[in-house]
């Protein structure tokens, strides 16, 4: 609606100002103040038409005109929808928006609520077809200018990266930024080298991530390192002293933290399939019942392996057999297939964890000693033992068994499993930690 059609009515004028960067905003009289002063002068010249500016300030300093995600603009739109504004006054139309589609949406919104849009330096009326044509032409040039500026910035970034310059963004662990350049932070650099070295030793990002989280190792932002961050760190060519732009690496101005040999060894592992790395990790883990299983005579049963072709067979064998000791009339097995006996022990553990007396004992212990695990979560962990167990790496499973089992005795009639009931509450805590980590590869 044209303001001339409402001469007898007081028109509430909202002044909107915007500046794309924060440069100069701390000055006593900045660009936003200059825009507002020009708009106030224009509104004063229209006082005879009933114009009066609102004291509410709608200033967006440091926000691009290519998006509508601006706090002051959002507040202005909300006030328009609430019927608090009659006229919106800006210094130039590109202060409100540089994007043609966004501006069209705003004009439609203003029309729906009977709000007039005025540019102090560009004379047009948005309620007429000629005014809209003029507006679209001006906006097209504003959008063209914005796109040309963006292309210049992209070209500048590309040229700078080719020269190895640091162009901002997240500062990688191991470096600090001084005078727009990356300088090695020796303490963090030592942590980065250790991560690469441990990855080469372990061959698994999952195992290393869990180890780092147990040590409460943090990234540059102070949050715990997870597997996703670990992969990004291991693949970041900044640590080789390079600057990367759109997949192409160039010699950087900064010093390398990781030498070529360590980098190549780590990336040789990364090039293997995740499934193969996981299988390698599992093959290196200790036997589940090592140090816990004994024969009826009291002799320890030690884990052994035999290989037939490409297949590996695991066993627990009595030290009486290995040392050729006389066992008299013993009738209990002295050699057991590892998979079978381990499965039997886990089944017994599962059965014991479901018994009412154990559940009651665990809840009581957790209530007394652990404030961070609720009763509902504890019950869930006891009932979901199978699911939690399969999420653990064999090394973690072995640690859990060590906490739960005091002794396993092989008899002629079967297995006698002596459970550490006092350790079950600790196991619940142990099994909760891995749930916060990513699943094994």
The yes-or-no verdict on residue 412 having pLDDT over 60 is yes
Please answer whether residues 26 and 61 qualify as being in contact, where contact means their C-beta atoms are separated by less than 8 angstroms.
no
Share of the chain above pLDDT 90, in %: 18
- pLDDT, one tens digit per residue, over 63-93 is 888 788 899 999 999 999 999 999 999 998 7
What confidence tens digit (pLDDT) does each residue in 19-69 have?
988 888 888 888 899 999 999 999 999 888 889 989 899 999 888 887 888
Give the β-pairing of 58-61 and 11-19. Answer: parallel
What is each CA distance from 310 to 284, 306, 307, in whole angstroms? 16, 10, 7
pLDDT tens-digit profile of 213-257?
888 888 888 888 888 888 889 998 889 888 876 667 778 788 889
Is residue 161 within 8 A of residue 254, CB to CB? The reply is no
Residue 17 in contact with residue 120, Cβ under 8 Å?
Answer: no
pLDDT tens sequence across 252-275 = 788 889 998 999 988 888 886 565
Q: Which of 27-31, 167-171, 241-245, 427-431 has the lowest mean pLDDT?
A: 427-431
pLDDT bin (cut points 50, 70, 90) of residue 434 is: very low
pTM: 0.38
| pLDDT for position 425 | 66
Res 204 pLDDT > 60? yes
């Amino acid at each position: 609606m044209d303001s001339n059609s409402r001469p007898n009515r007081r028109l509430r004028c909202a002044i909107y100002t915007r500046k794309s960067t924060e440069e100069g905003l701390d000055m006593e009289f900045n660009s936003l103040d200059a825009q507002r002063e020009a708009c106030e002068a224009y509104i004063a010249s229209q006082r005879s038409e009933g114009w009066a500016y609102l004291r509410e300030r709608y200033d967006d300093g440091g926000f691009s005109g290519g998006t509508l995600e601006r706090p002051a603009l959002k507040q202005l739109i909300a006030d328009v929808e609430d019927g608090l504004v009659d006229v919106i006054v800006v210094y130039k139309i590109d202060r409100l928006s540089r994007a043609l589609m966004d501006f069209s949406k705003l004009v439609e919104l203003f029309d729906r609520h009977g709000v007039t849009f005025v540019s102090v330096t560009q004379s047009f009326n948005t309620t007429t077809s000629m005014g809209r044509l003029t507006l679209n032409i001006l906006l097209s040039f504003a959008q063209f200018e914005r796109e040309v500026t963006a292309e210049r910035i992209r070209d500048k970034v590309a040229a700078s990266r080719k020269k190895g310059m640091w162009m901002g963004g997240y500062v990688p662990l191991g470096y600090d930024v001084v005078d727009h350049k990356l300088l090695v932070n020796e303490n963090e650099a030592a942590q980065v080298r250790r991560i690469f070295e441990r990855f080469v030793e372990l061959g698994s990002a999952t195992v290393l991530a869990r180890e780092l989280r147990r040590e409460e190792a943090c990234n540059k932002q102070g949050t715990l390192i997870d597997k996703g961050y670990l992969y990004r760190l291991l693949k970041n060519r900044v640590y080789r002293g390079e600057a990367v732009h759109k997949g192409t690496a160039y010699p950087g101005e900064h010093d390398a933290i990781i030498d070529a040999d360590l980098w190549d060894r780590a990336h040789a592992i990364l090039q293997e399939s995740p499934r193969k790395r996981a299988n390698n990790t599992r093959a290196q883990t200790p036997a589940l019942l090592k140090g816990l299983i004994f024969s009826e005579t009291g002799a320890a049963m030690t884990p052994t392996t035999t290989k037939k072709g490409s297949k590996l067979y695991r066993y627990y064998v009595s030290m009486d057999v290995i040392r050729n000791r006389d066992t008299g009339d013993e009738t209990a097995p002295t050699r057991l297939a590892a998979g079978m006996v381990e499965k039997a022990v886990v089944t017994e553990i599962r059965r014991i964890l479901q018994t009412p007396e154990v559940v009651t004992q665990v809840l009581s212990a957790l209530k007394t000693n652990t404030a961070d695990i609720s009763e509902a979560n504890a019950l869930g962990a006891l009932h979901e033992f199978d699911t939690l167990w399969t999420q653990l790496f064999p090394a973690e499973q072995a640690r859990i068994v060590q906490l739960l089992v005091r002794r396993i005795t092989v008899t002629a009639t079967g297995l006698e499993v002596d459970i550490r009931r006092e350790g079950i509450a600790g196991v619940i805590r142990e099994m909760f930690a891995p749930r916060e980590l990513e699943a094994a590869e």
